[in-house]
Structure 1
């Protein structure tokens, strides 16, 4: 088992940007010009306030670790004052933390510091809300394929773990793991979790054969079967259950629903989807719904009706202990709809905690003190109030 602290300490790769030439190549040029001018006319001790313009969950651990690593590597001191501890809710514009040190040393770091702060805090907020929407359901982070490179992959996995831990403080199960080895430590795991992609089903030629091959190669591991490749989710899963009845009876067999949004689960259409929900959660569909909510409940893809239909089919066939894993677009609103429909979900696999509106992720840093004298640009006076409250 990997501890959270160990995962954070080991997060950055050996190629982490620490040397000034590397930083200079990535930072905004005007920060470098300011540094050069200040170097000529006299350095001063400054305090930065770092904030995001929308409500978030504080997830700045990787950002601060990077600053501390740079400071240690380059040999200058920094002071960090955390206003909101990691995992706590932060209001729009409220400083996350204050960073104090030499202006000459800190000026070149601002661009990279903000890159590592804003998006992670928004993603943490999303993960927190998703976990609270389905508090009794475990989540798997499956975001890596949607990330723009390794650094973003690390930030987003870290963010999901922070948001999850915040939700766990309120009683939710939260995220129990993720889909790749490199960031598994953030979730207390040694390795990534997951069984089979669609390509493996295509290779095997049938869903049943894929399950058989998987069991032959990994005989001691629980089996989760992806069932939408041939559009026969119910038929194929029941065939697998009958092939492995002992696993099904022991709760070591799961079905993963990932039905494409362009079609219904096998055997469903709009009318039958309504009928399924009426059988299992009367009244859910009768209340007023937006178009998006209706799609989540009775539409194509992995709807609440699709999940209930699979549970119904498994139970009727005598496989009540087979678990249902769902994926495909499980963001905040879809999780809320699933909770409203009491969908029988055992695990959610999702990468939909990634920010969907990137402009909301922009973090900002303003200097609020120069050699101990409070000063900030017009319009940001509220930052002065925050630091004055903390210093008395």
Structure 2
């Protein structure tokens, strides 16, 4: 039986045979299992934590644990300290896991693989959504992942972080770009219309839009406009070709200008001028080099988004939406909010952890057969364990 997580059956949560698990984990855990089986099993409790603040996104890992336990005919007790979507401080246990030492020892490696990066991604997604609370986000992380398991973990993390932000009033992530993980966001299908490859195939931005509209009649359409370096020119050409869609708000243009050039018609001086017109004072405050790049630099800057909005409004297309992508990290989202950039949707995969060492999760055993015991320096985990045990006793 597959556990239900995020409203869907997760194929990646299927269990593995004991031999398969043993081949995928660190060998010293398998040897520990063999020693414990030889000298006698015991009940242990693990404290699972990260060394940096995160948003708790443990559902995938916990569902996998329960599936493995069910297939292996052993029991696990998971005591959740921080509910899904909660902010967790550095070093605070996400949850306590109790069960047979012989059964749990070989699972530690795979368990930690499913936790750390997911919780960091959730934290990043939460911060991004809170930085632009009125802007919908689209998760476009799959192309940056190393395979299906990572793809599921990152999408799940984004969904959990998004829901945490939504509870605080943000719009958050409205969907993602592929079908497989769409149910994490409450959808059955991935969102998106066209890649740059379709523009190249069509030979022009307008022709690509015409092909798309002909293939998917009646659907809203988002058109990439940076392929030929004529973002403004091509956007307006498409709007004039589809005036009804533009007037009804069913047409969007997507800016994905890469960082080696400016949006059509912009340079450093004119980028400064755009922000001075649209958001006076934003550019006058002290800025780091990175902040300046997000505001007036190459690629999809705040100035670029404002310039596109000016062009669309000036040509009589105020209801055409702007979708922005390309490097929308937490820091870039903060800069966009500061510049009040008129972006209608942000497409991003930049909630993926940037510094991978920050994703390392740890599972320390803190109790053997009910006897508290932990390595020196981690005594703080015992305090949390005792508090958790007291709460469970009170519930009983």
Could you say which residue in structure 2 is the equivalent of 1:90? Answer: 88
8 Å Cα contact 1:181/1:191 also seen in 2: yes
Deviations 1:241-296 (A, max 9, x none): 00000000000000000001000000000000000000000000000000000000
8 Å Cα contact 1:46/1:369 also seen in 2: yes
SS at match of 2:277: helix
Could you say which residue in structure 1 is the equivalent of 2:10? Answer: 11
8 Å Cα contact 2:43/2:369 also seen in 1: yes
- Matching residue within 289, 292, 296 for 1:291: 289
SS at match of 2:323: strand
Could you say which residue in structure 2 is the equivalent of 1:195? Answer: 193
Measure, in 2, the Cα distance between the counterparts of 1:153 and 1:39.
36
SS at match of 2:93: coil
Q: Cα RMSD between the aligned structures? A: 1.1
Measure, in 2, the Cα distance between the counterparts of 1:313 and 1:260.
20
Measure, in 2, the Cα distance between the counterparts of 1:125 and 1:282.
32
State whether structure 2 residue 251 is matched by structure 1 residue 249: no
Measure, in 2, the Cα distance between the counterparts of 1:321 and 1:272.
25
> Offset at 1:46?
0.4
Structure 1 runs (4+) greater than 3 angstroms displaced: 4-9
- Which residues of structure 1 form unaligned runs of 5+? none
SS at match of 2:77: strand
Could you say which residue in structure 1 is the equivalent of 2:126? Answer: 128
Could you say which residue in structure 1 is the equivalent of 2:394? Answer: none
> Offset at 1:7?
3.8
SS at match of 1:96: strand
8 Å Cα contact 1:17/1:23 also seen in 2: no
- Matching residue within 323, 336, 347 for 1:325: 323
8 Å Cα contact 1:18/1:69 also seen in 2: no
Measure, in 1, the Cα distance between the counterparts of 2:54 and 2:387.
21
TM-score normalised according to structure 2 size: 0.97
SS at match of 2:11: coil
Deviations 1:312-340 (A, max 9, x none): 00000000000000000000000000000
Measure, in 2, the Cα distance between the counterparts of 1:74 and 1:19.
8
- Matching residue within 105, 111, 114 for 2:112: 114
Measure, in 2, the Cα distance between the counterparts of 1:390 and 1:172.
32
Deviations 1:128-164 (A, max 9, x none): 0000000000000000000000000000000000000
TM-score normalised according to structure 1 size: 0.98
State whether structure 2 residue 147 is matched by structure 1 residue 152: no
- Count of aligned pairs: 388
- Matching residue within 380, 385, 389 for 2:383: 385
State whether structure 2 residue 332 is matched by structure 1 residue 334: yes
